[in-house]
Amino acid sequence: MTDTVSKEKRDSMTADKKLDLNGFGSKAVHSGTNHVGDAVNTPIFQSSTYKLTDERYAGWAAGAQHTLLYARLSSVNSDAVAQKLTALEDGEDAEVFASGMAAISTTLMSFLSAGDHIVASPDVYGGTYGLLTEELPRFGIETTMTDMRDPAAYEAAIQPNTKILYIETLTNPVLKVCDIPAMVELAKRHNLLCIIDNTFASPWACQPLSMGVDLVIHSTTKYLGGHSDIIGGAVVGSKELIAQIFPRKVHFGASPDPHNCYLLERGMRTLHVRMPVLCHNAAELAKRLEAHPMIEKVNHPTLKSHADYEVAQRVMPKGTGMIGFVVKGGDDAALKFMRGLEMIYEATSLGGVESLVECPFNSSHMMIPEDVRHAAGLIPGYVRISIGIEDLEDLWADLERGFANI
């Protein structure tokens, strides 16, 4: 069995190495799968360490990346996930982490030092906002926040010590859409790294590496896992950049356990089946909500009323399962709406097969100053829903129950 999982054997048994896989669905199902012992799926290798062989000693001396030595570095299951995600994002290599925030923090700390500077948006994910504004300044790393939808504003914020332009495909939870090619052009012109959080789109809806982005980050907890039963993160990019991230992953210790990776790989195999259903549901519900008398505003990139509709048609025309909307009557009305729902579950997170709802003001973005939230579009009454794969009419009936509770 030891020989079975050596690097050469592992590479030879990886399905996308043997098959010419062009379709996204085929890559989702087959890429990365390690048929150890002729198993259909990658078995769970619940082991903290591996037998040291001459080959593995050589891999250790070469840096130890993707070498089966110790599970904090790599495991059979983490490598399977990394290969699958690399295929789906059309990258060269990937590393996986114990959480999305571990992926974000480790990636940023791999390329930043005291005295460096980042440009980002004030309505990034709440955890990212906290990292940029509370933690990194303690190490002498500063961030300028400006409108991600305006490349000129990002360019104006660039300083001589700027190293990274940090963007999100879709902002969380206001659903602003980034003009990725414009940001890539800006980053290349100023010799900066362009790093994107692609969680809200998934590689099914958007592949930023193909547009020139340097590194793509995911909270694999969300659409990639797809079942609200794991926590994880990942970063995908060139072999050169991922190789620079790997030692920091080892030092910071945020490695995923093998069973978690097994569940993630299982979830990723149906990404191309789940995403069309939930995106269709979300697009149709967004249209109906926009016409509802108790709604002030709806944010969804498939709506022509969305400020970034034209950009969305270029960078992520398939849409998203996320909907943001403002209930008339402010936060009190929004809370009553949520408490009237029966099927849509009041819980944080997103991207699962079930629909989830929350008000960002008292959940994901509660630690962001109120004036910053409001300026970013998180005005009173804002509700975020992650639409699942339930039947459309059942979802609509539940939304109507919520409105009836106001």
The catalytic residues are: 72, 125, 197, 222
Phi and psi at residue 222, to the nearest 5°: -90, -120
Closest-CA residue to 310 (of 181, 183, 179): 179
Measured CA distances, 198 to 232, 316, 388 (Å):
14, 11, 18
Pairing of strands 142-145, 93-97: unpaired
Structure tokens at 403: 């409105």
Separation of alpha carbons 224 and 233, rounded Å:
10
Q: Residues for the chain: how many in total?
A: 406
- What is the side-by-side order of every strand in the sheet holding 356-358? 295-299, 322-327, 382-386, 356-358, 345-346
For helices 258-268 and 76-88, angle between their N-to-C axes, nearest 10 degrees:
30
